[in-house]
A and B are shown apart, each in its own frame.
Chain A
Amino acid sequence: MSSRRSRSSRQTGASMISEDQINDLVLQLHRLLPELGNNHRRSGKVSASKVLQETCTYIRNLNKEVDDLSERLSQLLESTDSAQAALIRSLLM
């Protein structure tokens, strides 16, 4: 982790960080995103603002999914009293 930090040379002023590093990070981010329409645009530049926009949307979607799942889990945990026993049984088999 310290190696990554030293790459940006620990400068907190926004103007001091080189564009290359930012582009690098943005590319990395872009690779993570679900490749909905990005298969054509793999090579060459990706628009940074588009990547950021999609990232925000993706994180919001993931958060929403986690919320829904936790709702579902809470209902499941409440409804089945023997959930723990069933869970342990299923994990052991």
Chain B
Amino acid sequence: MASLISDTEPPSHLHPTSTDLVRRKKRLSVSSSSASSSLTTGDGDSHARWRSEKQQRNYSAKLIQALRQVRLSSSSAAAATSSPPPTAQKRGKAVREAADRALAVSARGRTLWSRAILSNRIKLKFRKQKRQRPAAIPAVITTGSSSSSSGGRSKKRRVTVAKLNKKSIPTVNRKVRVLGRLVPGCKKESVPVILEEATDYIQALEMQVRAMKSLAELLSGSDLAPQRG
């Protein structure tokens, strides 16, 4: 019971600073991404991308880092400011967001949903801090993807749901729209784009589930003595 999902790299993996880690990971993932991009066939590409060992290791490392930051920030926030008692829900959400961010980063900016996740966080941060400067927000959005402008507004969903319930839209299109709402950042995309993003998103989510499950087992079983001799 020594590895998260696959065999890990040597211990120097965890000691160096995050920049070193990122650099090393970049070299590894560049080689793996160039290998996977050479298979330009539609199906093989995403399969290879999300199931390869390197990708899993990449994600696990990022996940651990992100989680560590969550721990530090939550403990420091509770100590410094008089923030409301961190309920279990809030902590869970923070963990989820950190995991999603790590997942989006390991997608290397190739997919819409990953860019939407990352730009949503930036938008939220800006909105919290500077409400009186709307000029700042479009500046940030333009650096992100082009379709992320409507990603974070849940209130506007009500309008589109009313439209969706009309029977004028054929069933398949309606279901594709529903699917588009589930995948982050794809609310207003065309049908093939949504389908494509959904395939990638499902595989990424599966990897996320596997990683978090192994991590949880690792943490809950950490009291037991290691079984390897």
Q: Verify B175–A53 contact, CB threshold 8 A.
A: yes
Contact with B along A1-24 (1 / 0, CB 8 A): 101100110011110010001101
- In the complex, the answer to whether A25 meets B1 with C-beta atoms within 8 Å is no
Q: Which residue of B lies closest to A17 (CB)?
A: B192
**What are the residues of chain B within 8 A of A74 when measuring CB–CB?**
70, 88, 91-92, 94-95
Q: What residues of B have a CB within 8 angstroms of the CB of A75 in the complex?
A: 88, 91
Let me know if A88 is at the binding interface, CB within 8 A. Answer: yes
Whether A66 lies near B96 (C-beta < 8 A) is yes
CA distance A31 to B45 in the complex (A): 14
Segment 28-52 of A: residues with Cβ below 8 Å from B: 28-29, 31-32, 48-49, 52
From A13, A62, A72, B209 is in contact (CB under 8 Å) with A62
- Does B136 reach chain A (CB closer than 8 Å)? no
Give the contact stretch, choosing among B18-26, B121-129, B156-164, B216-224: B216-224
Which chain B residues lie closer than 8 Å to A58 at the CB level?
Answer: 202
B110 in contact (CB, < 8 A)? yes
Interface assignment of B199: CB less than 8 Å from any CB of chain A: yes
A56 to B175 Cα, complex, angstroms: 8
Would A28 and B42 be within 8 Å (CB), given that A84-B68, A86-B219 are in contact? yes
Q: How far is the CB of A17 from chain B (nearest CB, A)?
A: 6
- What secondary structure prevails in chain A residues at the interface with B? helix
Contacting pair A25 B195 (CB below 8 A): yes
Contact with A along B82-116 (1 / 0, CB 8 A): 00000011011111100100000000001000000
B191 at the interface (CB under 8 A from A): yes
The one of B1, B42, B216 in contact with A90, judged by C-beta atoms closer than 8 angstroms, is B1
Q: Is B71 an interface residue, CB under 8 A from the partner?
A: yes
**Which residues of A have CB within 8 Å of B1?**
90
Cβ–Cβ contact A73 & B172, under 8 A? no
Q: Show 26 residue pairs from A and B whose CB-CB distance is below 8 angstroms, ordered by the A residue.
A: A8-B193, A14-B191, A22-B195, A25-B199, A28-B42, A31-B43, A32-B199, A55-B202, A56-B178, A58-B202, A59-B179, A66-B96, A66-B205, A67-B96, A69-B212, A69-B216, A70-B96, A71-B95, A73-B215, A73-B216, A74-B70, A74-B88, A76-B216, A77-B91, A88-B14, A90-B222
